[in-house]
């Protein structure tokens, strides 16, 4: 592109100062090719504008705005659809039910209150409760239905025997009495049994 | 009644519950919205989608319009932003899609002009506009087709007048070169 043509593009773009623009306009009369370029550019732009401006299809836009209004109204109406009503009813029922539950009954019970107010489990489950070993044993025995080893505790059987399998007994039988006792003592000292 | 007062009255009537007022606003501005979007996207279906979206936004948000600018500038701002966002999304989609070129080819032939000669002209203009970078295309459409002043374009796009002039100059240069190539 020639430099003079670029100047015309600058004129079209408003990049020239007033004096520069005046100078360029006056020089157009002296240059035939530059004048041609200027009018061709004007025509091209006018033609492009024509294509975009004078559109003889008003129905499309008429229908378009109608369709948008319908969509907007549908959206607004959908706010009151049955699903919305169901959600409202369910929320109301949940609210009423929550009002009917007497939370004070739970809060007024000192045992629950202690549990609720305990900072952690140790605050509530104190080992002092099992200070009396007999009491603990009694409690254990009374629940013996669920504890299958309580009968061993009561039977007076040596605790070491409770954990010996048949094979272990066989091995122990092979040992002499002093060795066996030494092994058992060793295990007892290490608190394995 | 001037344009500003007329628009103000239409907005007021719509907010007072007159649906016909919105219809008038939509009829008045839908063409401009559509042609801006079409110029930027060169696709009838996408321009149609943008126009409907912008009109729906207007329907919902007209109550927030405070008349600090003209209604036209406000609508144009929404249109330009939506169109640019659409273009960005489209670029991302086309980056990940293998078939996007085929889809584009299929859609770009559609437009609302029934006359064949005019339709061809529109296609040609679209092809030329497509060669321009987004910023240059946007300024070119607003300045040439919408005959907006640089100050109005600056208000819509948030860019400086000097920058807009430079963009328009480069757009003109490319379009002229394109025409010269075809001859």
**Structure tokens given for A175:** 């040992």
| DSSP character at residue B141 | I
Q: Is the sign of the CA dihedral B156, B159, B161, B165 positive or negative?
A: negative
Chain B residues inside the 8 Å CB shell of A57: 112-114
Q: What is the pLDDT of residue A192?
A: 56
- Contacting residues for A2 by C-beta, under 8 A, at least 6 apart: none
Percent of chain A whose pLDDT exceeds 90: 3
Q: What is the mean pLDDT of residues A153-175?
A: 61
Q: What is the pLDDT of residue B50?
A: 95
State pLDDT tens for residues A16-30. 888 888 888 888 777
Binding-site residues on chain B for chain A (CB distance < 8 A)? 19, 22-23, 26-27, 30-31, 34-35, 39, 48, 51-52, 55-56, 59-60, 112-115, 118, 121-122, 125, 128, 144-145, 150, 165-166, 168-169, 172-173, 175-177, 179-180
**Structure tokens given for A141:** 């025995």
pLDDT grade, residue A127 (50/70/90)?
low
This complex has an ipTM of 0.77
Q: What is the pLDDT of residue B12?
A: 92
User: Low-confidence residues of chain B, pLDDT below 50?
Assistant: 103-108
Q: What is the pLDDT of residue B85?
A: 93
What average pLDDT does the structure give for chain A? Answer: 72
State pLDDT tens for residues B108-159. 455 566 667 777 778 888 888 989 999 999 999 999 988 899 999 999 999 9
Chain B residues inside the 8 Å CB shell of A47: 121
How many beta-carbon pairs under 8 angstroms link A with B?
A: 92
Q: Is B176 in contact with A5 (Cβ distance < 8 A)?
A: yes
| DSSP character at residue B145 | I
Going from the N-terminus, what domains does chain B have, and what CATH number goes with each? 3-112 (1.10.1740.10), 131-183 (1.10.10.10)
**pTM of the complete model:** 0.64
Question: Which is more confidently placed, A99 or B155?
Answer: B155
Vertex B99: Cα angle to B97 and B102 (nearest 5)? 140
State pLDDT tens for residues A48-97. 888 777 665 667 888 888 888 888 888 776 666 667 778 888 898 988 88
Q: What is the pLDDT of residue B81?
A: 94
Identify the residue whose tokens are 């607004």.
A76
**Helix H segments across A14-79?**
18-28, 32-53, 58-78
| Candidates B52, B121, B173; nearest CB to A9 | B173
- Distance between CA atoms of B90 and B94, rounded to whole angstroms? 6
Q: What is the pLDDT of residue B97?
A: 67
Q: What is the pLDDT of residue A134?
A: 65
Mark which residues 45-74 of A lie under 8 Å from B by CB: 45, 47-49, 51-53, 55-57, 60-62, 64-69, 71-72
């Amino acid at each position: 592109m020639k430099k003079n043509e670029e100047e015309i593009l600058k004129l079209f773009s408003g990049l020239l100062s007033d004096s520069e623009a005046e100078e360029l306009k006056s020089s157009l009369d002296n240059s035939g090719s530059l004048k041609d370029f200027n009018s061709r550019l004007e025509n091209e732009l006018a033609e492009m504008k024509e294509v975009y401006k004078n559109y003889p299809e008003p129905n499309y836009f008429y229908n378009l705005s109608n369709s948008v209004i319908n969509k907007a109204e549908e959206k607004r109406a959908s706010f009151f659809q049955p699903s919305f009503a169901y959600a409202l009813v369910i929320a109301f029922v949940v609210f009423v039910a929550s009002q009917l539950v007497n939370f004070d009954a739970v809060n007024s019970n000192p045992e629950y209150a202690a549990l609720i107010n305990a900072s952690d489990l140790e605050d509530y489950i104190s080992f002092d409760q099992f200070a009396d070993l007999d009491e603990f044993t009694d409690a254990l025995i009374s629940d013996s239905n669920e504890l299958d080893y309580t009968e061993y505790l009561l039977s007076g059987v040596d605790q070491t025997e409770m954990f010996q399998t048949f094979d272990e007994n066989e091995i122990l039988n092979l040992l002499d009495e002093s060795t066996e006792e030494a092994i058992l003592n060793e295990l007892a000292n290490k608190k394995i049994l | 009644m001037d344009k500003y007062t007329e628009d103000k009255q239409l907005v007021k009537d719509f907010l007072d519950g007159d649906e016909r007022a919105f219809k008038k606003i939509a009829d008045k501005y839908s063409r401009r919205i559509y042609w801006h979007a079409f110029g930027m996207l060169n696709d009838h279906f996408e321009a149609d989608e943008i126009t409907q979206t912008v009109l729906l936004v207007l329907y919902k948000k007209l109550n927030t319009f405070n008349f600090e600018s003209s209604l036209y500038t406000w609508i144009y701002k929404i249109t330009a932003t939506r169109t640019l966002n659409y273009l960005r999304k489209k670029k991302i989609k086309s980056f990940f899609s293998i078939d996007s070129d085929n889809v584009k080819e299929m859609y770009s032939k559609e437009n609302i002009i029934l006359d064949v000669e005019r339709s061809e002209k529109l296609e040609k203009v679209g092809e030329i506009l497509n060669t321009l970078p987004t910023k240059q295309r946007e300024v070119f459409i607003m300045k040439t087709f919408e005959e907006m002043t640089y100050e109005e374009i600056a208000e819509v796009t948030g860019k400086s007048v000097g920058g807009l002039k430079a963009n328009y100059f480069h757009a003109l240069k490319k379009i002229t070169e394109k025409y010269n190539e075809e001859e």
